[in-house]
Amino acid sequence: MSAGSIVQAPDGRQVVLGEIGQRVLLVNPRVRVWEVRLAPGGSQPWHLHHNPYLVLNLETSPCRMDWLDGSPARFLSERVGGVVHRPVSPVHMLTNHGDSNYRNRIVELLDLGEEASGVPDRALSPARPVTGGLTPTEVFADEQVRVLGVEVEPGARHDWRAGDIPTVVIGLSHPDSDGVHYLGPGERHGFATDPTNPHTFRLVELTYLGAGGR
């Protein structure tokens, strides 16, 4: 069931499914990255995830997740820069119950859902990325992905080269807070800032692909 599909709630209501985000920032055969942006009181419509996905928070506000099947609501309190990894899930909607704007990035892992075929075996010792003088910190890791955090000092520039694992680069702050970049194995990305402010980024390594994953 995709956006536009009609499903039936337990009380007999017919519900038209919406998209999982407001706009697509990046899409290729590996990942699809969405933006979700909710003003106070705003809601993301009923929707369904067909792929495992990551949620990376850019602006935080208390939110409530409701389930069409009537399961108890889930109350969310995320932190900026935090990462949540979720499996495919039943139809649900998200509402901003706070007084601040809410914004995130949803990274769909298409290889593990819609495109679930031909995923290479994971290498035991993949080549590490070349960090260009940055010191990454591990923000999140499980058996499928690893998320690194890097902070670039004011006025600095660093060239990052991905290792053998494809990587999605997501900016959390201006000037790259709308920027999403996909790096194939060995590809480079330049991190730069303005003269007065540091900038924070998250690097999502698709570790399930292993060495040589394209």
Residue 130 is assigned to a structural domain of this protein: no
Query: 137 is written with which tokens?
Result: 């910190």
For residue 177, the model assigns a pLDDT of: 56
Q: Which residue has the higher pLDDT, 168 or 213?
A: 168
pLDDT digits (tens, 9 = 90+) for 8-32: 776 778 888 899 999 999 999 999 9
Q: What is the pTM of this model?
A: 0.89
pLDDT of 124 reads 44
The residue-averaged pLDDT of 146-163 equals: 92
Same domain flag for 147 and 58:
no
Torsion of CA 32, 134, 213, 204, to 10 degrees: -30
Q: Is 64 a domain residue?
A: yes
| φ, ψ of residue 98 in degrees (nearest 5) | -100, -170
The CATH code of the domain that includes 158 is 2.60.120.10
CA-wise closest residue to 109 among 94, 88, 78, 138: 88
| Residue 121 scores a pLDDT above 60 | no
Model confidence at 2, pLDDT cuts 50, 70, 90, reads: low
Q: Same structural domain for residues 100 and 35? A: yes
Q: Is residue 71 part of a domain?
A: yes
Task: Look up the domain containing 164 and give its range.
Answer: 137-209
Mean pLDDT of 129-146: 92
Number of compact structural domains in the chain: 2
C-alpha span between 86 and 68 (Å, rounded): 17
Beta pairing, strands 137-141 & 146-152: antiparallel
Whether 27 maps to a domain, the answer reads yes
> 39 and 102: one domain?
yes
pLDDT given for residue 193 in this prediction: 81
- Model confidence at 210, pLDDT cuts 50, 70, 90, reads confident
- Report the side by side order of strands in the sheet with 43-49: 43-49, 89-96, 63-67, 74-76
Q: Are residues 103 and 145 in the same domain?
A: no
Q: Per DSSP, what are the bridge partners of residue 49?
A: 89
Report the pLDDT value the prediction gives residue 31, as an integer from 0 to 100.
96
CB atoms within 10 A of CB 3: 12
Same domain, 56 and 144: no
Distances in Å between the Cα of 174 and the Cα atoms of 38, 44, 170, 197 are 19, 24, 11, 9
Residues 88 and 47 in one domain: yes
The verdict on residue 193 lying in a domain is yes
Q: Are residues 19 and 74 in the same domain?
A: yes
- Are 9 and 15 in contact by the 8 Å Cβ rule? The answer is yes
Look over the chain and give the mean of its residue pLDDT values, rounded to a whole number.
Answer: 87
* Residue 110 structure tokens: 């298409």
